[in-house]
Amino acid sequence: MIQITNPPSGRPGGIRQGSRPGRQGGPSSIAELDSLVRALITGRRTEKFITIDELIKEMRNGLSPAVVERLRSRFALTQSEVLSVLGLSRRSYLKRKAERRRLSPLHSDRAYRLSKVGVHAEIVFSDEQIAHDWLTSYIVALGSKPIEALDTEPGMTQVENVLGRIEDGVYS
């Protein structure tokens, strides 16, 4: 089972080392994964659970540009890596941020993809640094870096499948 903690970094919903759920964790592991992802992209603490309906509404209205910094910080990525996954130019991002405008629903959905895969990788590898290295390294099974495949739904599915195989102990 995943254990949610408040790590020293101050990020909401950290994952305690050694709490790798594997497939044995059952539905509660999926629910906790979802909770971590929702907290990350909305900026809310995990104690203030956001329902799926609220999440959908918030994503349709567009997430705050602050999600870019949360994703960058959480997964130790560069701003350009995050913006590339979101399909957003640096100039457009800075303009939205300065004007306090929300991201589009498309960019919000891509932020959700990155957060879901990133949190899943942290759980699978039980280590944030290893998860970061995996996300940004060329993976033969994907034919690219996982982070580069997240700009499309089929790419995300492929990345999730590889993570699932690793989680099940299959060489990938």
Quote the number of domains for the chain: 1
- Position 88 scores a pLDDT of 95
Find the domain containing 97 and state its range. Answer: 4-167
172 part of a folded domain: no
150 part of a folded domain: yes
- Position 77 scores a pLDDT of 95
Helices (H), 62-151: 66-75, 79-86, 90-99, 105-125, 128-135, 146-149
- Position 34 scores a pLDDT of 79
Separate counts of helices (H) and strands (E) for the chain: 9, 2
* Maximum distance among all Cα pairs of the chain, rounded to whole angstroms: 47
| CA-to-CA separations, 170 to 13, 33, 45, 121, 162, in angstroms, rounded | 28, 21, 34, 15, 9
When the pLDDT of each residue in the chain is averaged and rounded to a whole number, the result is: 82
d(CA 159, CA 4): 24
pTM value?
A: 0.78
**How do residues 96-113 score in pLDDT, each as one tens digit?**
999 999 999 999 999 999
Average pLDDT over residues 73-100: 95
